[in-house]
Amino acid sequence: MTDTVRPDPRSLRALAHPLRLQLLGALRLDGPATASALARRFDETSGATSYHLRQLARHGFVAEDPGRGTARERWWRAVHQSTALDVSRTLGEPDTAEALDYILREQLAIETRAVRAWWAGRGEWPAEWLDASDSSDWSMRLTLDELAALGRDVHDVVGRLAEAARDRPRDPQTPVVRVFFRALPERTPDP
């Protein structure tokens, strides 16, 4: 599995569907699954999940897992660990802008649900896990080059950790850690 996919406008439009985003998220978070198992999880028909998995595969987000299944039972896996959106590359046409808007809104909703779930369950975690967790924000004046370097550096660090985690055997005692990153310039009033 490679670390990050940067969808082109056509792939971005294909991804902008609620079930496809759920399927891709589940495969990234929980590992390979069949269309039937995903259908049960999301209360869908296996025909619908199978169709949307094939669409995700057509655009390079998921692939069949050749080491599992039979001729009648296809297992699917995520191809990438994360999606990075190149906003300037995808705003060229109205359909793409609409898809980008949908995906950004869904990402924010997913992030909000994850933070709320963590907060609601914080009493279940030992103090050292709570102390190691982080929820921070900064505001600073950065040049264009500094902003680009910040993104590259964060992606490099997360990529190294994700690669190390991927090479380690799954341990039920090691939780999944969700990492969300946004670095967005904003207009500030003139002083």
Asked whether the beta carbons of 25 and 17 are under 8 A apart, the reply is no
Closest CA to 137 of 184, 97, 69: 184
The string of DSSP codes covering 84-117 is ---HHHH-SSHHHHHHHHHHHHHHHHHHHHHHHH
Count Cβ atoms below 10 Å from residue 143 Cβ, excluding itself. 8
How far is 138 from 27, CA to CA, in rounded Å? 32
Local confidence pLDDT in tens for the 191 residues of the chain: 457 888 888 888 899 999 999 999 999 988 899 999 999 999 999 999 999 999 999 999 999 988 887 767 889 999 998 888 877 766 667 778 888 888 889 989 989 998 999 999 999 999 999 999 998 999 999 999 999 999 999 989 988 898 888 778 888 888 888 888 888 888 876 66
Other C-beta atoms closer than 10 Å to the C-beta of 164 total 9
Task: Report the alpha-carbon distance of residue 111 to residue 105 in Å, rounded.
Answer: 10
Name the CATH topology of 2-126.
Arc Repressor Mutant, subunit A (1.10.10)
Query: What's the residue count for the chain?
Result: 191
pTM score, two decimals?
0.78
